[in-house]
């Protein structure tokens, strides 16, 4: 089977890495890929958002399965385009991608189908939002309606912070059209956990729990990022909670999508808060998480290819039960100095050869490039240093030993990944 993975970050490196282990896969392409992916797949110089060019490539190479990594191509309608051409692709249609692409639409969907979530208000202009903030109780959460690369959410502890968030989103347009509308919602308290489900639109398979760290600084404070690290499983997510999430989140979600006539053959990523009143949905994403994928796939003992292939075909019920390692996994993100703000690129990365091939470890490339025979930084999040072992503590220690071996100018990483699991 010839497979194309769309995207060029750490998530895509993890997908390519796992697919490369499948006896079903004879050739992997990745558009556009990165320096690390190049050792496992043929890189294709097409950006993830160039959906027409991607389809042309799939036709030319007779690709059997396309797997979409990032959310933007899904919102751009790549799945609809492929379906019209009779091509197999893993991911939801454009309408289904609105679960992530529009916070407003997602909230309305959740309320309609009885999925537990935070109380909220929607605003389409800044003046009304400012007026609401003056009367509101704090803390609260301000969210840009559209895609903002994981950075469009602000937890505001006081009026001045909420006011600033509204100004940046709605008036200064830091997220462009994604900030035309905003959601302001109650701030839920509890432990946050991520749960993924693979669906073919009829049935679904849930994956083990993950906890990630969005804030840039240790102690979970500072501006939100795309993710500074993750670990799996999440000790706080019990079997009883898993049953509740299945019954109150995923079952009504899949049923609701069917009732809306939405074709959804892909992954659903539920960001949940475990409150005193039970699990509530913070948000849905319509693709694998990053860096959550980097800790889930090393734990998957089954072949990934049939899972994605049969989900895309609408035959998920034919897939054998998934097997998972008992190992715990942790991923530490090494970022460029200044991220999630401005940062420099082109810094040489040293130490990668020393950590390649070590037992139960993998360094997933995110923002990297190959220039003048050197691997250099090319993004804010540069590497996902991942390790797995018999215990979470052992995995954490191993991951940090790897991170200490890798060097580049301005390298920054949090030194408390998985701290919530040990409290």
- Do 206 and 291 fall within a single domain? yes
- Do 413 and 385 fall within a single domain? yes
Question: Which residues are within 8 A (CB) of 128 and not within 5 positions of it... i.e. 6 or more apart?
Answer: none
Question: Which residues are within 8 A (CB) of 373 and not within 5 positions of it... i.e. 6 or more apart?
Answer: none
Nearest to 32 by CA among 56, 63, 52, 9: 9
Does some domain include residue 199?
A: yes
Does some domain include residue 95?
A: no
* pLDDT category of residue 355 using cuts at 50, 70 and 90: very high
Predicted local distance difference test score (pLDDT) of residue 82: 98
Predicted local distance difference test score (pLDDT) of residue 2: 98
- Rounded to an integer, what distance in angstroms lies between the CA atom of residue 368 and that of residue 411? 13
Average pLDDT over residues 230-253: 97
Report the 3 state secondary structure along 220-276: CEEEECCCCEEEECCCCCCHHHHHHHHHHHHHHHHHHHHHCCCCEEEEEEEEEEEEC
* pLDDT category of residue 189 using cuts at 50, 70 and 90: very high
- Do 347 and 306 fall within a single domain? no
278: β partners? 275
* pLDDT category of residue 198 using cuts at 50, 70 and 90: very high
Average pLDDT over residues 320-343: 97
CA distances from 291 to 52, 116, 164, 294, 295 (A): 28, 25, 28, 5, 7
Measured over the CA atoms of residue 197, residue 195, residue 98 and residue 110, the dihedral's sign is positive
Of 138, 155, 180, the position where a domain reaches its end is: 180
Average pLDDT over residues 349-370: 95
Containing domain of residue 33, as a range?
Answer: 2-90
Question: Which residues are within 8 A (CB) of 183 and not within 5 positions of it... i.e. 6 or more apart?
Answer: 103, 104, 107, 120, 121, 122, 141, 142, 143, 145
Share of the chain above pLDDT 90, in %: 95
* pLDDT category of residue 74 using cuts at 50, 70 and 90: very high
Average pLDDT over residues 213-225: 92
Does some domain include residue 218?
A: yes
- Averaged pLDDT score across all residues of the chain: 96
- Rounded to an integer, what distance in angstroms lies between the CA atom of residue 286 and that of residue 97? 6
Question: Which residues are within 8 A (CB) of 51 and not within 5 positions of it... i.e. 6 or more apart?
Answer: 73, 76, 77, 78, 81
Predicted local distance difference test score (pLDDT) of residue 241: 97
Share of the chain above pLDDT 70, in %: 100
The tens digit of pLDDT for each residue in 11-60 reads 999 999 999 999 999 999 999 999 999 999 999 999 999 999 999 999 99
- Rounded to an integer, what distance in angstroms lies between the CA atom of residue 100 and that of residue 283? 8
* pLDDT category of residue 165 using cuts at 50, 70 and 90: very high
Does some domain include residue 232?
A: yes
- Given a contact cutoff of 8 angstroms between Cβ atoms, the answer to whether 390 and 405 are in contact is no
pLDDT at 130 over 90: yes
Does some domain include residue 112?
A: no
Of 318, 347, 377, the position where a domain reaches its end is: 318
Of 149, 180, 211, the position where a domain reaches its end is: 180
The tens digit of pLDDT for each residue in 132-150 reads 999 999 999 999 999 887 6
How many domains is the chain built from? 4
Predicted local distance difference test score (pLDDT) of residue 224: 85
Does some domain include residue 23?
A: yes
Helix axes 304-313 and 10-19, enclosed angle (nearest 10): 100
Q: What 3-state DSSP class applies to 181?
A: coil
Q: Which residue has the higher pLDDT, 178 or 363?
A: 363
- Rounded to an integer, what distance in angstroms lies between the CA atom of residue 168 and that of residue 3? 40
Predicted local distance difference test score (pLDDT) of residue 161: 95
CATH number, domain at 55? 3.40.50.20
pLDDT at 151 over 90: no
314: β partners? none
Predicted local distance difference test score (pLDDT) of residue 147: 86
- Do 215 and 304 fall within a single domain? yes
186: β partners? 140
273: β partners? 192, 280
CA distances from 186 to 119, 137, 220, 350 (A): 6, 8, 19, 45
- Do 176 and 210 fall within a single domain? no
Cβ burial 303-337 (10 Å sphere, 16+ → b, else e): bbbbbbbbbbeeebeebeebeeeebbbbbbbbbbb
Predicted local distance difference test score (pLDDT) of residue 336: 98
């Amino acid at each position: 089977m010839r497979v194309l993975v769309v995207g060029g970050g750490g998530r895509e490196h993890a997908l390519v890495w796992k697919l490369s282990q499948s006896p079903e896969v004879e050739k992997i392409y990745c558009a556009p890929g990165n320096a690390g992916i190049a050792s496992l797949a043929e890189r294709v110089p097409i950006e993830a958002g160039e959906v027409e060019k991607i389809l042309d490539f799939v036709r030319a190479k007779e690709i059997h399965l396309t797997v979409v990594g990032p959310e933007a191509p899904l919102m751009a309608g790549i799945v609809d385009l492929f379906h019209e051409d009779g091509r197999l692709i893993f991911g939801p249609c454009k309408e289904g991608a609105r679960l992530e692409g529009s916070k407003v639409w997602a909230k309305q969907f959740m309320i309609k189908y009885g999925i537990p979530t935070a109380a909220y208000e929607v605003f389409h202009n800044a003046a009304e939002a400012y007026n609401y903030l003056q009367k509101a109780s704090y803390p609260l959460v301000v969210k840009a309606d559209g895609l903002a690369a994981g950075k469009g959410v602000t937890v505001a502890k006081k009026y001045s912070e909420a006011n600033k968030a509204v100004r940046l989103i709605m008036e200064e347009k830091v997220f462009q059209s994604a900030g035309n509308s905003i959601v302001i919602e109650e701030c839920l308290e509890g432990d946050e956990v991520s749960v993924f489900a693979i669906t073919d639109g009829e049935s679904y398979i849930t994956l083990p729990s993950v906890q990630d760290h969005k804030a840039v600084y240790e102690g979970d404070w500072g501006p939100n990022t795309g993710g500074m690290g993750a670990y799996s499983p999440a000790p706080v997510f019990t079997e009883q909670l898993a049953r509740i999430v299945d019954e109150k989140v995923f079952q009504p979600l899949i049923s609701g999508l069917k009732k809306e006539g939405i074709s959804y053959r892909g992954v659903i990523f539920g960001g949940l808060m475990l409150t005193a009143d039970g699990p509530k949905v913070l948000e849905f994403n319509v693709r694998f998480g990053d860096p959550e994928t980097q800790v889930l796939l090393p734990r998957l003992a089954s072949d990934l290819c049939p899972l994605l292939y049969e989900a895309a075909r609408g035959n998920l019920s034919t897939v054998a039960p998934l097997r998972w390692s008992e190992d715990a996994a942790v991923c530490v993100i090494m970022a460029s100095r200044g991220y999630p703000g401005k940062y420099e690129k082109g810094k040489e990365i040293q130490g990668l050869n020393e950590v390649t091939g070590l037992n139960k470890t993998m360094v997933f490339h995110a923002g990297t490039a190959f220039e003048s025979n050197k691997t250099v930084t090319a993004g804010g999040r540069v590497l996902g240093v991942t390790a797995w072992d018999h215990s979470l503590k052992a995995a954490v220690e191993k991951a940090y030993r790897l991170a200490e071996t890798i060097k580049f100018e301005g390298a920054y990483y949090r030194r408390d990944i998985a701290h919530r699991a040990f409290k």
